[in-house]
Amino acid sequence: MDAEAAKLIGAGLAAIGAGMAAIGVGNVFGSFLESALRNPGAADGQQGRLFIGFAAAELLGLLAFVVAMILIFVA
């Protein structure tokens, strides 16, 4: 296989990571909403934790994007 083709396939495979992060972010917000509807009084106090969880899940997806960008434009 050509090196250029391998790079592009690798970048495409890195997109799987973005999809996985989407599952993670959806999980964070979904679980938050589920429990916030059960106890709306406690929901506002947990918003900081919600965004920490979101940031942690999102970072991994962004890393997958960085891998793809490095493969296409740098490597």
Partner 1 sequence: MAAEEGKVDPMHQFHIEPILGSQNWEIAGFNIAFTNSSMWMMITAIVLFLFVWGGMKRDLVPGRWQVMVESSTGFIEDMLDANIGKEGKKYVPYVFSLFMFILFANLLGLLPLGIIGVHPFTFTSHFTVTGVLAVISFAIVLLVGFWKHGFHFFSLFVPHGTPLPMIPIIFPIELISFLVRPFSLALRLFVAMMAGHVLLKVLSSFVIDGTNAGIGFGLLVGLPSFALMIGISALEILVAGIQAYVFALLTSLYINDAENLH
List residues near partner 1 by CB under 8 A. 48, 51-52, 54-55, 58-59, 62-63, 65-66, 69, 72-73
Smallest gap from residue 65 Cβ to partner 1 (A): 5
Question: Looking at beta carbons only, is 36 or 54 nearer to partner 1?
Answer: 54
Question: Looking at beta carbons only, is 15 or 36 nearer to partner 1?
Answer: 15
Question: Looking at beta carbons only, is 40 or 45 nearer to partner 1?
Answer: 45
CA neighbours closer than 13 Å in the CB half-sphere of residue 38: 5
